[in-house]
């Protein structure tokens, strides 16, 4: 995983914990919230893994019951091990397996972020998150003004919170930090939207960021 990608994901969780007193936050406050964000990630991963284990148990129970109830096994003497039987592919089982795969992917990603953030050799992750947070602290009014300006008449206070935070992070990178290529920043913002928000969010965010890029001459 790239450090910047980990930073953006962690920044998104960080932004979810900001309140209106962000202008009063110190660097230490940001670092404390980052630690809290990592804990949120790992705790969520633990909960999702428990859900995945439950789904695995359900699948195993289904398979064992299906095998035991097969006519070829019903005829076998008690105590004799069942013979393997073919299992029909069912939508229910596919759905459970897809859920498990999704949980595993998210969990691995969360643990990678946590690892990046706590290893001394990867301190650039925390540094970049703090840089994003400090830029928002210094320019939050202008950043939200950009979002409001290009949101096609939507009241910024009524936007989905996570969409607003994804836009904030991307705009900060595009206009104030300027260390990552424009295309990378936009693509990563769309990936965050697809992962955490609604089906329509990525198109909305892409539209707003395209106008921000043109308006500000970002290359």
Q: What is the pLDDT of residues 113-146, one digit of tens each?
A: 666 555 444 577 788 888 999 999 999 999 999 9
pTM summary value: 0.67
The answer, yes or no, to whether residue 88 has pLDDT greater than 70, is: no
pLDDT at 183: 95
**74-81 mean pLDDT:** 85
C-beta separation of 192 from 202 below 8 A: no
Give the residue ranges of DSSP H helices in the chain.
3-16, 27-69, 71-74, 91-118, 123-149, 161-172, 182-196, 201-216
Rounded-to-integer distance, Cα 23 and Cα 199, Å? 33
Residue in the structure block whose two tokens are 């795969």? 101
**64-81 mean pLDDT:** 86
Token pair for residue 64? 């064992």
Query: How many CA within 13 A on the CB side of residue 58?
Result: 14
Phi, psi values for residue 122, rounded to 5°: -115, 30
| CATH ID of 3-216, from 3.40.50.300, 1.20.950.20, 1.20.140.10, 1.10.940.10 | 1.10.940.10
Q: Cβ of 185: how many Cβ atoms within 10 Å?
A: 24
Phi, psi values for residue 134, rounded to 5°: -65, -35
Rounded-to-integer distance, Cα 136 and Cα 176, Å? 9
pLDDT at 205: 94
The answer, yes or no, to whether residue 89 has pLDDT greater than 50, is: yes
- Each domain of the chain, given as residue ranges in start order, spans 3-216
């Amino acid at each position: 995983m790239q450090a910047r990608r980990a930073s953006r994901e962690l920044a998104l969780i960080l932004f979810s914990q900001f309140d209106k007193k962000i202008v009063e936050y110190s660097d230490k406050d940001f670092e404390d919230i980052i630690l809290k964000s990592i804990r949120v990630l790992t705790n969520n991963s633990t909960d999702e893994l428990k859900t995945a284990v439950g789904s695995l148990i359900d699948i195993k129970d289904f398979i064992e019951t299906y095998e035991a109830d097969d006519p070829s096994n019903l005829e076998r003497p008690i105590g004799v091990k069942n013979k393997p039987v073919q299992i029909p592919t069912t939508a229910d089982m596919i759905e459970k397996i897809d859920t498990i795969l999704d949980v595993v992917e998210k969990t691995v990603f969360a643990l990678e972020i946590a690892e990046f953030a706590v290893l001394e050799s990867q301190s650039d992750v925390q540094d970049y998150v703090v840089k994003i947070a400090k830029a928002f602290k210094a320019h939050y009014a202008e950043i939200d003004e950009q979002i409001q300006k290009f949101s096609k008449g939507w009241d910024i206070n009524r936007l989905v919170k996570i969409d607003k935070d994804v836009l904030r992070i991307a705009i900060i990178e595009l206009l104030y930090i300027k260390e990552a290529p424009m295309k990378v920043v936009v693509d990563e913002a769309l990936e965050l939207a697809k992962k955490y928000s609604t089906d329509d969010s990525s198109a909305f965010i892409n539209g707003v960021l395209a106008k921000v890029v043109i308006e500000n001459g970002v290359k």
